[in-house]
Structures are given as C-alpha cells and as structure tokens.
Amino acid sequence: MNSEHTHLTPHTSRLTILITGGNGQVGFELRRQLATLGDILAPNRAALDLSNADAVDAFLAEHQPDLIVNAAAYTAVDNAESDQAMATRLNAELPAQLAEYCHQRGSWLIHYSSDYVYSGEGTTPWQEGDATGPCNAYGATKLAGDEAVANSGCQHLIFRTSWVYSAFGKSFLATMLRLGAERTALSIVSDQMGAPTPARLIALVTQQALATLNNPKTANDLESGVYHLAPRGETSWHGFACEIFQVAKQAGLPMTISPEGVTAIPTVDYPTPAARPLNSRLEVDKIEAALGIQLPSWQSQLALTVEEIASSR
C-alpha cells in the first residue's frame, strides 16, 4: 500500500472526472454527487462503447481524465453464465484497462465490486481480507476485475457492495413496487441474507472518500485498497420485500399486497441459472473508521428512496 498519495487536484484548477456507466443506477447518483468536485465526463453508450477496448483507449487519450470512477459493469447475473465473454470484458478487462491508464498517469481509480466475490457460505459478515471464492460466473468476473485493479500498481479504492437499488432503473425495489400494486400474494426467498444498498449512499460515501483524498491534511488517512460499502443491519429478500410494501403504503403508493401476503420460500424452491450466495453480509467497520462516518440502517435508506419515488409520481 502507498504511504503517500498523489493529490487528486491536477495542475489545472479543475479536476476532470470520468464516470463510466454514468446512466446506470450508481452512475446516475455519482453524476449528481460528484458535480462539485470537478468537470464530469459521463459518456453514454453512443459516445463510448465500453465493450470496445480500442474505443476506450482512444477516449482516454483524447480526454485525459484526472480521475476515473468506474461504475460500469455487466450485472445480469444469470445471463453471465452464458455470456461470459461480455461479462469478462466489462467486469474484468475494462477495469484492468482503466487501472493501467491510472497507473501510467499516477491518478486514482474508484471501482465498484460485489459481495459475489466471496463464497456466500456461513453466517458471519465478510471482512475485506477474507478469502474469495465466487459461486457463479458473474462473481468470478468481478473478482478478476478486483485483482486486475489491485495488481496494476495504480492508486485505487475498490468498494464492494451488495443488493444495489435506486429510485429509478431496474432493481428488486422497482420489481416489488410493480408487483405489489398488481398482486395480493408473492413468494420471496428468505434464506439469502444481506444489506440492501441504495445507489445514493454509494455515491455519497464515494464523494466523502474523494473529499478525504483531496484534502492534504487527510489524504493519507485513506489507503489504497478494498472497502466494503453497505448500510448497517441485515435482512433477507423476503424481509426486504415486506419492508418495501409497508413503507410504500405509508408513502401513499398504491399497494394491493400486504406483508402477510408474502410467503417465505427457500432458495431451492426458486432455481436460477446462476447460483446465489446465501451470505451476502458485509462488515463495514473499515470504511467507517477510515472516513470517520457512521453508516445508516438499511431501513432508513429504503424509506428515503421510497419517499423519493412517491414524490416524483
């Protein structure tokens, strides 16, 4: 690990920040949260095809960002089993490419990863130094990306998170709000445990990390490496669904279902192409200590997100 960091601020007065995957759940929140730190580059797919390595090299050479925040990923877990080439490109090769650029420039790379890099076994929350061992292709490609970033020699923060959702886009929350308004009964898996993490919280903590790195007095408090980023507490997908329906009703969203209408089922009763980890719990002491923050409960964050959805309708 580096004992001294390259300061974030470039020789010019404005920082140029490249956010890849800027139209995704996390990328959109990053564009909102990082706007005060510098000039944001967030090319859409038409402007930059991330699956094309040559196009990425050309974009980096032309725009020469001072900081890269990589929120791009192949996140279709089941599809990754059969589409491993594209999952590998976006989850492993792209981070390696961005890390190499940052290493050559002496700049920072912020990269987002997943609890899926771990085996998903047991009941103890995963710590950053625990052995990895993905149970599916998606997790294997995410781990390959983490390792490429860590081995590149670039200054980096790898944020491993879990069960990401937001007020827009495709997510478990969006699906539950739709189904909860259409049905009176649902069966939801109850033996997979984790912490639902809003994209907004991921972006906020990222902003705090970058502010720490950009302050000469605190820059060395945050070491290059892996950090877990999730709210406090834990639940199952069944528990998450029940809380969604309760909070949605309180927020005035139309719900035909009640928590009593949600049946708990084991993972074996809901087969999927890709195996799912039963234990997605992440220990977050390290990031709290490094930034001097207290992460909020997953319930409080869900309530905020549902309020945001309700007020926009």
- Listed residue (130, 44, 145, 46) closest to 94, CA to CA: 145
Q: Where are the alpha helices (DSSP H) in the chain?
A: 25-33, 53-63, 84-88, 94-105, 137-151, 172-180, 199-214, 237-250, 285-291, 298-312
Closest Cα partner for 309 from 126, 130, 148, 177? 177
**Catalytic center residues:** 138
Instruction: Look at phi and psi of residue 106 and say left if phi exceeds 0, alpha if psi is from -120 to 50, else beta.
Output: left
Beta-bridge partners for 157: 110, 225
- How far is CA 295 from each of CA 198, 201, 228, 292, 307, rounded to the nearest angstrom? 12, 9, 11, 10, 19
